[in-house]
């Protein structure tokens, strides 16, 4: 894809997120199944449902722009998920595994937050008000998920503290 305008960049980033959300949606069940902390497992299951909703919103934005709902390979999300697989396979006990899962999930969330923030700014600049509103809804969900993961890591019994004791 040639990127010759802000609109082209917006579309490229939108397709990037379609791919990223699709890959994340397929990976979240693995993360949920790997979690030993019940609240962490529930958080992954909740975010799996949210991710499906986010994909639908991205597809709505694409439809509003007259685009086919498809993604473009996202090297960043592929790298994060590959690293996550590697870390999961090397975690030697359940206490550390939950900390691995939270760290990995937050890397995904931070990537998504950065990209959705950019997409919102682009949409507003391009005058895509309804599209910007939908993307902002996704951005707020991603921020909420990131905050929930931080709370899980720091709450009592603290996942990170249990991992320290391992």
Q: What is the pLDDT along the chain (166 residues), one digit of tens a residue?
A: 789 999 999 999 999 999 999 999 999 999 999 998 899 999 999 999 999 999 999 999 999 999 998 899 999 999 999 999 998 888 888 878 999 999 999 999 999 999 999 999 999 999 999 999 999 999 999 999 999 999 888 875 655 555 555 5
Q: What is the spatial distance between Cα 78 and Cα 10, in angstroms, rounded to a whole number?
A: 20
For residue range 49-62, list pLDDT tens digits in order. 999 999 999 999 99
Query: Is 126 part of any domain?
Result: yes
3-state secondary structure labels for all residues of 53-103: HHHHHHHHHHHHCCCCCCCCCCHHHHHHHHHHHHHHHHCCCHHHHHHHHHH
Query: Is 47 part of any domain?
Result: yes
Query: Is 79 part of any domain?
Result: yes
Query: Is 1 part of any domain?
Result: no
Query: Is 133 part of any domain?
Result: yes
Please state the domain count of the chain.
1
Query: Is 158 part of any domain?
Result: yes
Domain residues for the domain of 41 are: 6-165
We report the CATH number of the domain holding residue 49 as: 1.20.1260.10
């Amino acid at each position: 894809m040639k990127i010759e305008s802000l609109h082209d960049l917006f579309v490229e980033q939108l397709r990037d997120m379609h791919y990223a959300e699709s890959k994340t949606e397929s990976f979240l069940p693995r993360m949920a199944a790997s979690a030993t902390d019940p609240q962490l497992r529930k958080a992954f299951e909740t975010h799996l449902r949210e991710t499906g909703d986010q994909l639908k919103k991205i597809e709505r934005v694409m439809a509003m722009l007259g685009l086919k709902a498809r993604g473009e390979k996202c090297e960043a999300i592929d790298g994060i998920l590959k690293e996550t697989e590697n870390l999961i396979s090397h975690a030697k006990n359940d206490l550390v595994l939950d900390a691995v899962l939270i760290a990995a999930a937050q890397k995904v969330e931070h990537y998504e937050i950065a990209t959705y923030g950019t997409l919102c700014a682009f949409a507003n600049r391009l005058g895509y008000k309804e599209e910007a509103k939908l993307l902002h809804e996704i951005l707020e969900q991603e921020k909420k998920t990131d905050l929930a993961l931080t709370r899980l890591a720091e709450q009592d019994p603290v996942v990170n503290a249990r991992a320290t004791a391992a």
